[in-house]
Amino acid sequence: MMIVATAGSTDTGTVDDLTAVAALAREHRVWLHVDGAYGAGYVLTGRGRAHLTGIEQADSITFDPHKAWSLPYGTSVLLVRDAATLRRAFSTTGHYMPAAALDPETPDFTSLGVELTREYRALRLWLPLYVHGTDAVTVHLDEKLTMAQLAYHELRQDPAFDLPWAPDLGVVAFRLRHGDAGDHVRMVELLQQRAISLSPPTIRGRAALRMCICSHRTHAEHVRIALDAIRDVAREIHGTTLKAA
């Protein structure tokens, strides 16, 4: 049995109340896993840390530096509190197996996962951090948090949109106030023609739109262009809807 909490959900970027979930896991003596694939990296920022309080109580955390940290695809991290649990699951023996590391301080990765012959993935994480430092990542993430707040507040002022979810991190989800599922898909298509990529999730059974401000190449000027385009396209769609009515 385990509880899986989310630190940065795909659709809205929302972080669960991790302190409350950790208390529940402790009470029921079950493993607590946190899916921080998108959100855990925000722990570098003050605002992110405030949302992520409680994540330190997890038994395991997934974290993908290839998402919010903008590192190369396939750079995924699993953090496990007690490595002995992995050894119990994955250790194996065979005459072809390499001898365990002689240095007890060196982790024997062959007994910590399913792979025996492994790619040197850690280099993709270590090298950029070595060259640029964690401060560069923190600045990038803080900028994304600020932009998500900007997008949220600007769209909220526009009566064309409903924004029931204030962004915890860098995802801004919203709805067309007067639009059906087809209108939301049409928004995505029309915006795509202007090189702006939103996705149309279904949240609580209703169509929505999702702006994920994540790339290290996305800056305030791009978000402003996207916001202008979103407002324009919404007017265009509402105009057609009203004419048809």
List interacting residues with ligand PLP (CB under 6 A).
Answer: 8-10, 35, 37-38, 64
Kindly tell me which of 38 and 161 has the beta carbon lying closer to ligand PLP: 38
Nearest approach in angstroms of CB 142 to ligand PLP is 20
Query: CA dist 36 to 137, 146, 204, 227, 235, Å?
Result: 16, 20, 22, 28, 36
Nearest approach in angstroms of CB 38 to ligand PLP is 5
Kindly tell me which of 99 and 114 has the beta carbon lying closer to ligand PLP: 114
Kindly tell me which of 170 and 179 has the beta carbon lying closer to ligand PLP: 170
Mapping DSSP to helix (H, G, I), strand (E, B) and coil, where does residue 44 land? helix
Alpha-carbon distance 49 to 65, whole Å?
Answer: 16
Nearest approach in angstroms of CB 204 to ligand PLP is 17
Q: By the 8 A CB rule, do 80 and 41 touch?
A: no
Nearest approach in angstroms of CB 188 to ligand PLP is 17
Q: By the 8 A CB rule, do 21 and 5 touch?
A: yes
Kindly tell me which of 36 and 179 has the beta carbon lying closer to ligand PLP: 36
Tally Cβ neighbours within 10 Å of residue 39. 29
